[in-house]
Amino acid sequence: MLAVTLHPVAAQAVESHPVAPDGTVTFDGHGYGHGRGLSQWGAYGAATRGLTTAQILGFYYPGTSLTGQPNTDIVVRLSTSWPGELRVDQASGLALRSQSGTVRLPTTSSAGQRILSWRLVSVSGGMRLQYVDAGQATWRNHSVVAGTYADFTSSAGAVRLVRPDYTRREYRGALGVRRGSDGVLTTVNVVRMESYLRAVVPAEMPASWPAAALGAQSVAARTYASHQRYTSSGPIDTCDTTACQVYAGRATYSLSGSLVTNHEHASSDAAIARTANQVVITGGAFSYAFTQFGASNGGWSVAGSQPYLVSRHDPYDGVVPSNAHDWTTTVRASTIQAAYPRIGTFRRLTVLGRDGRGEWGGRVTSVRVEGSSSSVVVTADQLRFALGLRSTWWTTAGQQQPVGGMVTDVTGDGYADVWARRTVTGTLYFFRGRPDGTFEPARAVGSGWDMHDTLISPGDVTGDGIPDIYARERGTGQLWLYPMNRSGEATSRRVVGTGWDTIDMLVPAGDVTRDGRPDLYGRVAEDGTLRLYPGSAGGGFSSRRQVGTGWHPVDAVVGVGDISRDGIPDLVARRGGHLYRYTVRSDGTLAPAVAFNSGWAGFDTVVGGRDSAGAFLLVRDPTTSNGRLLRYPISASGLVSAPRVVGSSGWNIHAAVL
């Protein structure tokens, strides 16, 4: 049994993200937005996989159903009007409806001049209606409108809003005002729901996307607006910004009347028509679902306030590559200091918590911003908005949680060698091991390896005595086998499996089944089950089988060879900052975990290995900004010994070490 011990260096480790020497922090992240409900990029991916609109909605809002509703008005607060007043252009059949009734408005003034525009301003007890004509540049009074509302309508079914920059925005339905108890006028658009959606859907999702995705967006947007309307206690139902749903009306025109932008599109119109009046409900009449949606959940949704807004793996977000699913941004230290001035000179970010769901341990929940003068603890959302990050699911460049294989001897000299993929360029480098555990200078052995999101070294797959590489292709889920030579170079490649995008952690354990071929463990992203994939001839795999459940809290698993000396390779896993050993049984299942070390939460790279000197763990030191590499020997009795520096610097530029 492995002894329980604590090494003081590891115990001090935290998930630290220091400022780079150039005074910046580069973030690598997943997802764009809050991550709740429908992922728009996920809907795109699901549509390309053949899911229908109803199936997409069923995936993102489980336990709900679809029903119909009448096409009635919704009242939208507009943010682009003149403050405290409403101005509209003259139009054919322009009329004003209010509590006093509907009045047709004249087209010429009392002076016989053509009326150009109308406006409503607040006065005691109501509103004053004014106009400006072609013969003068001043507003003239027309009448007083009593009550708390007034709406302009036209015979064409649309009215043009005059905006502060004098461009025009045309809206279907009516343009009006709602007068508050303080006398302030708020500009609104009163429009039929289906007409409203014609401007919302293409603003929220590109009209060029697949029909099934556009249909799902149409239903989600209709339901979201219906939910807001039903739960509203005032005269206004929703707004036109990202705080509600983006809504720009029918079209934008220049001052001269030329069309600038048409905000509606035939493809999204067709999707709205196909799903006409359909909404998502949770039960009986008016039980509208709170159909939140966002650009991308990064591959893992976030639980919301309702039971159908669940946290789960999303196999569709990422099917279509995008800078919403995977993103990188660089923030200067001065920006962080400006956001948190009392910290002084910015030094590092220390992650205090993650939600445990997905790569790197999932989304960040809280962060300590550390500086020369003091520190401040903030929520991940607070930091996100302060720095302009796309989501709370991030790490920093060079700090990814790469999944490596069991580092072994490639060159045949008895010393462990290492491959590493450069973060920025995707180039694969080979590091030949030395007798003292350090490495010779890197040698480039291949380019374009950033097409893969996972690289692992399972050992010798092809039977030539040289360790090979498995690589999962980003976006497609195809698993490629790269046979390698003694120089660390790939001699060829071939696809050995598909559908591997449902696995969020691949673990090469060695020859578990003792048939002379290396095997893999894989964690299913959706439910956290652990599967064994026995290797077969040709580099593929025979029938998989489930060997464990509840593996979501585990954020790193590596093979270190046969520590238990029973002839079967064992695993080392990290959970909650603790290291656990799992003895592998003859059938591939795992004996109960045995804790044997703690204080490992901060290490962003943990790779298992074995060479002529025995088993070890390679880790990247989180307390340094230059990526120092440490080797922790593991003795036959299970003790983790004091580390040795085997790479003094430069290992922070690699996104994968194997």
pLDDT value at residue 333: 95
**Using one digit for the tens of pLDDT, what is the confidence trace for 113-170?**
999 999 999 999 899 999 999 988 899 999 999 999 999 999 999 999 999 999 999 9
Confidence of residue 3 (pLDDT cuts 50, 70, 90): very low
Q: How far apart are CA 640 and CA 418, in angstroms?
A: 21
Residues 146 and 173 in one domain: yes
SS3 342: helix
In a domain, 46, yes or no: no
pLDDT value at residue 594: 83
Residues 417 and 507 in one domain: yes
More confident residue, 505 or 377: 377
Residues 196 and 246 in one domain: yes
**Ramachandran region, residue 526 (left: φ > 0; alpha: ψ -120 to 50; beta: rest):** alpha
The residue among 141, 140, 149, 142 whose CA lies nearest residue 100 is 149
Q: How far apart are CA 619 and CA 651, in angstroms?
A: 10
Supply angle C-alpha 501, 504, 507, rounded to 5.
110
Spell out the residues 6+ positions from residue 202 whose beta carbon is closer than 8 angstroms to its own: 263, 264, 265, 267, 268
Other C-beta atoms lying within 10 Å of the C-beta of residue 136 = 12
Q: Which residue has the tokens 């445990």?
A: 356
Residues 97 and 193 in one domain: yes
More confident residue, 642 or 68: 68
**Using one digit for the tens of pLDDT, what is the confidence trace for 316-345?**
999 999 999 999 999 999 999 999 999 999
219 in Cβ contact with 189 (< 8 Å): no
pLDDT at 612 over 80: no
pLDDT value at residue 613: 73
Confidence of residue 403 (pLDDT cuts 50, 70, 90): very low
Q: How far apart are CA 77 and CA 308, in angstroms?
A: 28
Residues 135 and 253 in one domain: yes
Residues 333 and 482 in one domain: no
Pairing of strands 394-396, 375-379: unpaired
Which residue type is seen at 308? Answer: Y
508 in Cβ contact with 487 (< 8 Å): no
Max intra-chain CA distance, the chain: 104
Q: How far apart are CA 470 and CA 522, in angstroms?
A: 13
345 in Cβ contact with 337 (< 8 Å): yes
Radius of gyration over every alpha carbon of the chain, rounded to an integer in angstroms:
31
Confidence of residue 625 (pLDDT cuts 50, 70, 90): low
In a domain, 6, yes or no: no
Residues 386 and 461 in one domain: no
Burial class (CB in 10 A: 0-12, 13-18, 19+), 497: middle
Residues 461 and 571 in one domain: yes
Positive or negative torsion for Cα 78, 79, 83, 87: negative
Total domains in the chain come to 3
SS3 59: helix
Of 360, 377, 396, which residue constitutes the final position of a domain? 396
Residues 169 and 277 in one domain: yes
pLDDT at 561 over 80: no
In a domain, 93, yes or no: yes
The residue among 415, 410, 406, 408 whose CA lies nearest residue 435 is 415
Q: How far apart are CA 224 and CA 518, in angstroms?
A: 51
Q: How far apart are CA 34 and CA 393, in angstroms?
A: 10
Residues 449 and 378 in one domain: no
- Distance from the first to the final alpha carbon of the chain: 27
In a domain, 330, yes or no: yes
Averaged pLDDT score across all residues of the chain: 88
pLDDT value at residue 370: 94
Q: How far apart are CA 156 and CA 648, in angstroms?
A: 74
Residues 363 and 412 in one domain: no
Axis crossing angle, helix 211-231 with helix 40-48, rounded to the nearest 10: 140
pLDDT value at residue 126: 92
Of 365, 396, 427, which residue constitutes the final position of a domain? 396
Structural domain of 331: 15-31+325-396
The neighbouring-strand residues paired with 28 are 328, 395
Residues 268 and 170 in one domain: yes
The residue among 16, 14, 29, 15 whose CA lies nearest residue 359 is 29
Confidence of residue 555 (pLDDT cuts 50, 70, 90): confident
- Does the pTM exceed 0.85? no
pLDDT at 636 over 70: no
